[in-house]
Structure 1
Amino acid sequence: MLQNDLTPELSPEAEVAVLARALYREGYDDQDAGHLTYRQPDDTFLAVPLEVGWNEIRASDVIRIDIDGNKLDGRWSVPPAIGLHLEYHRAHPGTDVTVHQHPRYATVWSTAGRLPGVYDQRAATLPDSDYVIYDDFQGVLEADDAVADAVAAIGKARCALLRNHGVFVVGDNMPQAYTNALTLEWRCKIAWYCEVLGSTGQVPDYGRRSIESVIASRGGYAPGMWEWAVRRELGLIGSVLD
């Protein structure tokens, strides 16, 4: 068990703000575009608002909405096209966090309509069964039938590439959502560089199975990664001279 006494306990609103800022550092930085929702015990949802960028959001900026997208609390606006997230939550009550953005490398692979290869340990933390390419993505999901079709196509996958658009990533909790989103963009980035070099040296199947098994045994995420991101965003990583 890792010691987490270096990491302060966060409010749910602060967790949302930290996740948005941490992912912004990792390439989820398409200006103020994107959505992030976090299911609460009362079946309301915390979300990033329309007006605030992921690199600047604070806990006080986070809004609360109901399952129909109506704002319940907060000073900012509900972002448009959040219906995909809410419909996904309806279909998957055990999944608490959803992330949609247009990260740099994953968006390139979504446009190519290809799932990138696995070239290193980080990329191998999720099996291919946790990925899906949604070829019929319509660009903007606002009609009920389009949203339902997208949720059905994503199914039980953890990471979806939305064709010519971006990504949809889910997690049962905050650490898992952070790990999944980080792994997706990392896999896409490393595969891009390796294929530019003409490399064919992907992680062999037995190696992938071993890595996947270790991560699964730890709850579906790498222990310590989320806590490190929290400390980094809160400025709690001290001087090297301390």
Structure 2
Amino acid sequence: MTIKNLVTAAEWQARCELAALYRIIAYYKMTDLIDTHISLRLPDQPDCFLINQYGVAFEKMQASTLVKINHAGAVVESYEQEKPVNMAGFVIHSAIHAAHPHLNCVIHTHTADGIAVSAQKHGLLPISQHALKFYQYLAYHEYEGVALSTDEQERMIADLAGHRAMILRNHGLLVAGESIARAFHEIYFLERACQAQIKALSGGAELHYPSEEVCVKTAKQFASPLVEPILQRAWLAALSLIEHQQAEYSA
């Protein structure tokens, strides 16, 4: 049953966009059964964000199944009281939304390649163009067990510092962005960088590294404001891949 008539127009638009993002993450096979999570701050209620109803497959996410919670972890609306939320999702996402008001979308994944790189002592290597996007723009957070304690939030935020992307050691990947388009771009490139690294290392051949000068130059190119239109085009292109599902996820 749709809740479109129970929310503001701004919230409904956000719900539809986030449901689409969940399905796109599924399209690119970055899911882990019912675990991992994506959140989006509500534009007209900045102290609240949307997150998935725990137990709904990303492939089947709909605008009405998303849950609105505040930074304290409380479900905001009475019509959503029966929708369970992953506690680890709340701990991770609420910390970032509360500490960084400009970061509106947060994506966390447990892909095989992301986990593999998170377990490698050297972390992400500067061996691909995708990886160079994150050169000196990538944080790391030490594994502390399943993220169920709010005590971990302060350390996680300290480790993230001013970055948009972070590798959670022995766990997975975490990115954030000012918009859904930005967050999607971050997770797509970080995931591809991890995939390339695992394949390159598995070959057993000596790796070639770009010079320090080129690494720094490339990272700055990706950080340029000129990239913003590209992010939007990439997001629209990704949306086109699931356009046949629009009636489903916008319900």
Same fold, TM exceeding 0.5? yes
For residue 239 of structure 1, what is the aligned residue in structure 2? none
CA distance in structure 1 between the partners assigned to 2:236 and 2:212 by the alignment: 30
Greater helix proportion: 2
Alpha-carbon spacing, 1:53–1:202, altered in 2? closer, same or farther (3 Å) = farther
Instruction: Count residues in correspondence.
Output: 225
- Aligned mate of 1:172, from 178, 182, 196: 178
- Aligned mate of 2:109, from 101, 110, 125: 101
RMSD (Å), alpha carbons: 2.1
For residue 23 of structure 1, what is the aligned residue in structure 2? 25
| Superposed CA offset, 1:116-151 (max 9, x none) | 22333333333x22212212x212222222222222
Q: How does 1:82-161 map to 2 (within 5 A)?
A: 82-126=90-134, 128-135=135-142, 137-161=143-167
- Aligned mate of 1:222, from 231, 234, 238: 231
Which stretches in structure 2 are left out of the alignment for 5+ residues? 1-11, 246-251
Q: How does 1:177-196 map to 2 (within 5 A)?
A: 177-196=183-202
CA distance in structure 1 between the partners assigned to 2:171 and 2:227 by the alignment: 30
**Stretches of 4+ aligned residues off by more than 4 angstroms:** none
CA distance in structure 2 between the partners assigned to 1:60 and 1:140 by the alignment: 28
Which stretches in structure 1 are left out of the alignment for 5+ residues? 1-9, 237-242
CA distance in structure 2 between the partners assigned to 1:110 and 1:160 by the alignment: 10
Whether the 8 Å contact between 1:175 and 1:225 is mirrored in structure 2 is yes
* Deviation for aligned residue 1:102: 0.5
For residue 6 of structure 2, what is the aligned residue in structure 1? none
Deviates more, 1:217-226 or 1:138-147: 217-226
Percent identity of paired positions between Structure 1 and Structure 2:
20
For residue 55 of structure 1, what is the aligned residue in structure 2? 59
- Aligned mate of 1:162, from 164, 168, 171: 168
For residue 85 of structure 2, what is the aligned residue in structure 1? 78
Q: Could you state the TM-score of these two structures normalised by the residue count of structure 2?
A: 0.81
Whether the 8 Å contact between 1:48 and 1:61 is mirrored in structure 2 is yes
